[in-house]
Amino acid sequence: MNALQTLLREHKAGACVGIPSVCSSHPLVLEAALQVAGPNGAHALIEATANQVNQFGGYTGMTPALFRRFLDDLAERAGISPERILLGGDHLGPTCWRGLGTADAMARSAVLVDEYVAAGFRKLHLDCSMSCADDPAVLSTQVIANRAADLCLAAERAWGVAGGAAPVYVIGTEVPTPGGATEALGALQVTTPAAVDETLDAHRAAFAVRGLDSVWPRVVALVVQPGVEFDHYKVVDYMPERARALSVRIEREQALVYEAHSTDYQTPAALRRLVRDHFAILKVGPALTFALREALWALSDIARELSLPPEPPLKQSVLNVMRADPRHWRAYYADPNRETLDLQYSLSDRIRYYWNAPSVLRTTDELMRALERIDIPMTLVSQYLPAQYEAVRAGELEKRPRAMILHSIRRLLHHYTAACGV
């Protein structure tokens, strides 16, 4: 994590720099992230979320060790040294086990953190903001801080066994819902400087009680709400004037920056302003798989125009799987009259949970093989993939389906790297 700490020190010294944090497990998204980092020797910060990757496999079927091996293999194929990948764990805490009592949920969370550290993850977002089965609906800042400090203690013990670089930590009590809001958004309440004071004081005290004073300098970022979020069809854009007091508040901290969650779908200008205002870590995830889905849907439409396989088409295959297994979207999409639209086009992108379903993998592979065998007419590329059409015309991109998907994802990632001064 030395590279991350160096960059954040540069930011604190006055440089308008930051780092994108890619929160995804999809191989094409991760490959695109490595490609973006590749040409200029930058580091790629890749984060796995607790519900994606955990000791039980998460929805990807991968433990932290398997995810690390998976990323190393991708880096080797991309010709990028694994040392340039910064591994982070996002929302590490009881989020997956909220239905259990606190003791059981926190015991599983400690094992989760242990396995992340053992696998080489060194940027750890400790998130104990959610209530367990025997908790009140809303936890106090002190309770959240105490639980985060318990997990920090578990991480430090695991590091003592694993060795290597020391972990760095991200904390915060005003943590946006992972993956975006679950219902239509109204006005967002920007975190106040007083709330920052309360959160930092509570965590410092909790760390001190557990003998973690020497660890506190490795707390590098605080998660707050800068006034950015998205729901199914609306994006709340960053408004710097609303976050001015919040931005000024972090300048009093020698080593801390803010980590901005839910920056998906923000404009390039908004991303630049976030970094300028000390939101130096920009988390992005659903927007990247949304870009992936856009490209795959476009390729599916091209195949349909050319009467190519697969049958049923990719769109229908994915919808069939989602309807057969609604556990990842049922709580999000409540209107049955809009179900087909929501399943495909919602900004919360619940479709990302289904790309590794066996039938979807087979159908996607069949689509890609069918399109690889032909010379796709440029008129259809222009119709369905206009940005890639321009890149092909300019000689910057091969007219191959996989290359065009990766280009679609990279275009979005470049907004982040540009905002971060990479």
Tell me the DSSP string of 293-325: HHHHHHHHHHHHHTTPSPSS-HHHHHHHHHHH-
Per-residue pLDDT in tens (0 to 9) along the chain, 422 residues: 789 999 999 999 999 999 999 999 999 999 999 999 987 788 999 999 999 999 999 999 999 999 999 999 999 998 899 999 999 999 999 999 999 999 999 999 999 999 999 999 999 999 999 999 999 999 999 999 999 999 999 999 999 999 999 999 999 988 876 655 555 566 789 999 999 999 999 999 999 999 999 999 999 999 999 999 999 999 999 999 999 999 999 999 999 999 999 999 999 999 999 999 999 999 999 999 999 999 999 999 999 999 999 999 999 999 999 999 999 999 999 999 999 999 999 999 999 999 999 999 999 999 999 999 999 999 999 999 999 999 999 999 999 999 999 999 999 999 999 999 97
Beta-carbon contacts of residue 82 (< 8 Å; ≥ 6 apart): 71, 72, 75, 76
Domain ranges of the chain: 2-288, 289-408
Residue type, 80: I
Give 105-139 as a 3 state SS string: HHHHHHHHHHHHHHCCCCEEEECCCCCCCCCCCCC
Domain 289-408 has CATH 1.10.400.20: yes
Q: Which two tokens stand for residue 337?
A: 């009259």
- Domain 2-288 architecture: Alpha-Beta Barrel (3.20)
Residue type, 144: I
